[in-house]
Copies of this chain bind each other. A is one copy, B any other.
Amino acid sequence: MTTGVRRRMGVEERRQQLIGVALELFSQRSPDEVSIDEIASAAGISRPLVYHYFPGKLSLYEAALKRAAEDLACRFGESHEGPLGARLLRVMGRFFDFVDEHGPGFSALMRGGPAVGSSTTNALVDSVRQAAYDQIIAHLEIKDPPVRLELIVRSWISLAESTALIWLDGRRIPRAELESQLVHDFGALAAVSAAYDEEMGALVRRMLEDEPADGPFADLVARLIALAS
């Protein structure tokens, strides 16, 4: 079914191709700076044809963001086997892969800019945060998370976002250090809560029970004890 050199694409196929092309451009530069002309040219079609598939740049941006959000949420998937610290560290690696691949677009979105901040984009960002939250709660194997655990998980997610944004701004700290630091930060925030709340104390003790002596949490505790003495 080819007509000459270029095969004619179906509507959905063309839409998906445009989303892919747009996502790549929106990842490399701030979305404000990417024009429909550029997207058309990168996709090898005319500007009016882009508008045939997407009414405007915002709807194409939202479609690209939706694909990126689904991609990121998939990367949170992790086997429930083995120690928690090691699982979280692997997820942090994939999170920084994503941030690395989509740097300028990720910054522009998370810092908020003129082209972003529609209710659709906000809902997409929130859906990724919720996916991260659900994954962590599932790994902790907790049915009804107490409110103090919810606070820690959600505020740690915002810490991970801001750490990634600060990393993108000059990459002055190696990303491997930050991936590991975020795992430690999670343990530290949980420990602070556990120090003042019995329910959280029991939960954190259970969480650490299966951690190996050479895992990130045990390593942090040993170093902190050395630091305190």
Contact = CB atoms under 8 A, between A and B. Distances in A.
A131 interface: no
A177 interface: yes
Contact of A173 (B151, B184, B195): B151
Interface stretch (A39-47, A69-77, A93-101, A161-169): A161-169
A195 B181 CA distance: 10
Contacts of A114: 117-119
Interface in A204-229: 204-205, 220-221, 223-228
A188 interface: yes
A227 B208 CA distance: 12
B117 A116 contact: yes
Contacts of A137: none
A154 interface: yes
Contacts of A111: 122
Contacts of A159: 155, 158-159, 162
A227 B191 contact: yes
A112 B118 CA distance: 8
Nearest to A122: B112
Given A148-B173, A188-B189, 19 more contacts: A112-B122, A113-B122, A151-B163, A151-B166, A154-B162, A154-B166, A155-B159, A155-B166, A158-B158, A158-B162, A159-B162, A177-B196, A185-B188, A185-B189, A192-B224, A195-B223, A195-B224, A195-B226, A195-B227
Interface of A: 111-114, 116-119, 122, 147-148, 150-151, 154-155, 158-159, 161-163, 166, 172-173, 177-178, 180-181, 184-185, 188-189, 191-196, 201, 204-205, 220-221, 223-228
What are the 6 A-B residue pairs with the smallest beta carbon separation, nearest first? A117-B117, A158-B162, A195-B223, A188-B188, A184-B192, A147-B172
